[in-house]
């Protein structure tokens, strides 16, 4: 039975899911007895579930999910709830989106947001089960108890871990499925959704900055995800005027950041990093308008 091949029979599906369930259990056991491997293991968890979701028939996925969660609960309740359950859910989303051949950018973003939401949803449950503050425990482990911005860092860490997990999972899976002749849709019909998404993240970050500060930096960081995609497009345009506009806009952002960063209270000053993705979005907007104007001539 080939590892990276679609499973069409019941026997192949059950055998494959049993193998991947065993891998999840091994991950949890290793995490329980060798804690310093935790970060490496949690980065791989969504990949295992995504492989099952993509290569097995979807109607059997509930069997894999129930078996993985049930067996892992035997060894470590907290890590199962915090790591395995979100990974199983986000992995399923990844497999579905791969089947639909959605653009990888949106696949990564969608599965990342699912995992982040589930992580936040389970934190209160974990606090009840463990009778401790899970977030505070992590802060203590990393020696950040006295760090002034530990709450902001916690939100950034949750986003970073989820985004890294989903990105690695997509990269490996997309590489493997290309080997068997399956192509995903990488065509971009319009850049406006990406620009709108970036600006929405920045707007939300500033709303949080003046209402409930800790999550604001996570949305600034998420705006960089959109900005990186737009930046790749700008750098690949091979148009000198685009490079000039981009360089000037980023220089303006740097000057404004330098002037105001020391004059704004430190937590709010961090939000000024949003200037850089904003300028990239502006450059992309100008570039698309100019190209449209050229095509209409």
Rounded-to-integer distance, Cα 21 and Cα 87, Å = 12
What does the pLDDT read at residue 142?
64
| Per-residue tokens: 96 | 């579905």
Question: Which candidate, 81, 226, 94, 220, places its Cα nearest to that of 155?
Answer: 220
Residue bearing tokens 């290793």: 30
Q: Grade residue 82 by pLDDT with cuts at 50, 70 and 90.
A: confident
Its sign, for the CA torsion 209, 108, 95, 69, is negative
User: For the chain, where are the alpha helices, taking DSSP H only?
Assistant: 10-33, 38-55, 61-75, 77-79, 85-99, 104-130, 134-141, 150-179, 192-209, 216-235, 240-261, 266-269, 275-296
Judge contact between 94 and 111, C-beta under 8 A: yes
Q: Which residue has the higher pLDDT, 195 or 78?
A: 195
Percent of the chain residues topping a pLDDT of 70: 82
This prediction has a pTM of 0.78
What single-letter DSSP state applies at residue 145?
Answer: T
| Per-residue tokens: 268 | 């709010």
Q: pLDDT tens digits, residue range 134-180?
A: 666 667 766 666 666 777 888 888 888 888 888 887 777 777 666 55
Q: pLDDT tens digits, residue range 191-233?
A: 888 999 999 999 999 898 888 888 898 999 999 999 998 998 8
Q: Grade residue 1 by pLDDT with cuts at 50, 70 and 90.
A: very low
Q: Grade residue 130 by pLDDT with cuts at 50, 70 and 90.
A: low
Q: pLDDT tens digits, residue range 244-274?
A: 999 999 999 999 998 888 777 766 778 889 9
Output the average pLDDT for the chain: 82
15-35 mean pLDDT: 85
Q: Which residue has the higher pLDDT, 52 or 237?
A: 52
């Amino acid at each position: 039975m080939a590892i990276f091949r679609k499973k069409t029979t019941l026997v192949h599906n059950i055998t494959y899911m049993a193998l991947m369930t065993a891998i999840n259990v091994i991950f949890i056991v290793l995490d329980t007895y060798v804690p310093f491997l935790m970060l490496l293991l949690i980065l791989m968890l969504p990949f295992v579930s995504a492989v099952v979701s993509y290569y097995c028939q979807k109607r059997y996925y509930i069997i894999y999910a129930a078996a993985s969660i049930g067996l892992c609960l035997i060894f470590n309740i907290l890590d199962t709830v915090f790591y395995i359950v979100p990974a199983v859910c986000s992995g399923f989303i990844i497999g579905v989106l791969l089947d639909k051949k959605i653009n990888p950018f949106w696949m990564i973003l969608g599965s990342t947001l699912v995992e982040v939401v589930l992580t936040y949803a389970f934190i209160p449950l974990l606090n009840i089960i463990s009778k401790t503050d899970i977030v505070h425990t992590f802060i203590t482990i990393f020696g950040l108890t006295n760090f002034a911005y530990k709450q902001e860092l916690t939100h950034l860490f949750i986003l970073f871990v989820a985004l890294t997990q989903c990105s690695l999972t997509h990269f490996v899976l997309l590489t493997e499925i290309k080997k068997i002749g399956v192509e995903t849709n990488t065509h971009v019909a319009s850049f406006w959704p990406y620009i709108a998404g970036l600006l929405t993240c920045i707007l939300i970050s500033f709303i949080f900055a003046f209402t409930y500060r800790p999550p604001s930096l996570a949305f600034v960081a998420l705006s960089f995800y959109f900005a990186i995609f737009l930046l790749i497009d700008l750098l690949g345009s091979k148009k000198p005027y685009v490079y000039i506009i981009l360089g000037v806009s980023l220089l303006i952002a740097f000057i404004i950041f330098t002037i105001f960063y020391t004059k704004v209270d430190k937590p709010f000053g961090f939000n000024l990093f949003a200037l850089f993705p904003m300028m990239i979005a502006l450059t992309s907007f100008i570039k698309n308008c100019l190209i449209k104007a050229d095509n209409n001539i």
